Amino acid sequence: MEFKDYYKVMGVPRDATEAQIKQAYRKLARKYHPDVSKEKNAEARFKEVGEAYEVLKTPDKRAAYDQLGKSGTAGGDFRPPPDWDAGFEFSGTGARDAQYSDFFESLFGGRARAPADGPRGAFHPERGEDHHAKVLLDLDATLHGGARQLTLRVPEIDAEGRLVSKERVLNVQVPKGILPGQHIRLAGQGARLPGESIPPGDLYIEVEFQPHALYRMDGRDLYLDLPVAPWEAALGATVKTPTPTGTVDLKIPAGSHANSKFRLKGRGIPAKPPGDFYVILQIALPPANDPQAKAAYAALAAALPFNPRSNFGV
């Protein structure tokens, strides 16, 4: 077992005051909190920091840990001496949901974990723990609903009691109209406890969506950038426009300009209530790469005195 240098984890000197330790913890906790952090190894780091803080903030645990450090075990393989904790008493009020390292457990003992859903300190879990996973879906999955093969990494406790991550492939019917950040709840697909009499927990799958080639998502609304020719915007036109429910003929009024916005009510994500579909005009310029096109642009310039920078005053 590896010796854990809790001072190094917290980035504080061995003679750090309680206030310094608290300050270091708060800073690291904010940085690595899994709800807040986008760091890749945030969860693992957060647990490590939480464990270090649990020891260093509690005077009796810290004293016992310091005693241990003096016997010169740092860095090498670690085995606690048989009577190392004689004279220290530990209270069992740990952080909720905490999972401690083998090193910690060998020093301070394991602690019965309450299931995440149950009241803390319940002795007999009524059901297995709920599991959580996150998947990236294509937009079509929510537009039309449908079965998808999802590959999940599910944490499991292995035979030796360690937390490992296991791959699991599920065929899941994606509910039509699910929005980013929402969860599919699969009853009974969570953790299974030994013994048939205890019902398994549930699996919660959080969905996010891959960027779509045409549509941009904002909550339940969809946006399409629709390129139009300058004369279509200026003179008005009826333009074939793709929407999730099929192509529509969109009427562009004369005098439209770049970023003009049109709303097609209820044609967004088919949630309850359904989102809207927005079309944003983009003026596309025809290339002037042959004499004919150049002549046409020159004729337009001659016919229309137009200074697009008139409001700059230069």
Partner 1 sequence: MPPLPDEPLHGAIFEESTVLTLRDLSRMCAVDERHIVEFVEEGVLSVMEITKTEWHFSGAALRRARMALRLEHDLELNLAGVALALELMDELQHLRRELSGRGV
Binding site for partner 1 (CB under 8 A): 26, 29-30, 33, 35-36, 46, 50, 95-96, 114, 117-120, 147, 170-173, 175, 177-178, 180-187, 189, 204-205, 211, 216-218, 223, 272
Nearest C-alpha neighbor of 215 from the set 165, 290, 258, 267: 267
Q: Least distance to partner 1 from the beta carbon of 122, Å?
A: 9
Are 239 and 165 in contact, with CB atoms under 8 Å apart? no
Q: Least distance to partner 1 from the beta carbon of 4, Å?
A: 20
Nearer to partner 1, 66 or 276 (CB): 276
Q: Least distance to partner 1 from the beta carbon of 7, Å?
A: 21
Nearer to partner 1, 230 or 273 (CB): 273
Check the CA dihedral 18-21-22-23 and report its sign: positive
Nearer to partner 1, 19 or 159 (CB): 19
Nearer to partner 1, 17 or 210 (CB): 210
Nearer to partner 1, 80 or 145 (CB): 145
Are 67 and 59 in contact, with CB atoms under 8 Å apart? no
Q: Residues, the chain, total?
A: 314
Residue type, 245: T
Q: Least distance to partner 1 from the beta carbon of 26, Å?
A: 7
Nearer to partner 1, 103 or 223 (CB): 223
Nearer to partner 1, 16 or 271 (CB): 271
Q: Least distance to partner 1 from the beta carbon of 208, Å?
A: 8
Q: Least distance to partner 1 from the beta carbon of 164, Å?
A: 23
Backbone dihedral region of 147: left (phi > 0), alpha (psi from -120 to 50 degrees) or beta? Answer: beta
Q: Least distance to partner 1 from the beta carbon of 40, Å?
A: 16
Nearer to partner 1, 30 or 294 (CB): 30
Q: Are strands 183-186 and 203-209 parallel, antiparallel or unpaired?
A: antiparallel
Q: Least distance to partner 1 from the beta carbon of 185, Å?
A: 4
> Scanning the structure block, which residue is given the tokens 């008005």?
236
Q: How far is the C-alpha of 6 from the C-alpha of 47, rounded, in Å?
A: 12
- Other beta carbons less than 10 A from residue 247's beta carbon: 9
Nearer to partner 1, 33 or 192 (CB): 33
Q: Least distance to partner 1 from the beta carbon of 177, Å?
A: 8
In sequence order, which residues have a C-beta less than 8 Å from that of residue 67 and are 6 or more positions away? 84
Q: DSSP string spanning 62-125?
A: HHHHHHHHHTS-TTSB----TTTTTT--------TT----HHHHHHH---PPPPTTSPTT-SS-
**Which residues of 219-307 form beta strands (DSSP E)?**
221-228, 237-241, 248-252, 261-264, 277-283
Nearest C-alpha neighbor of 88 from the set 111, 115, 113, 68: 68
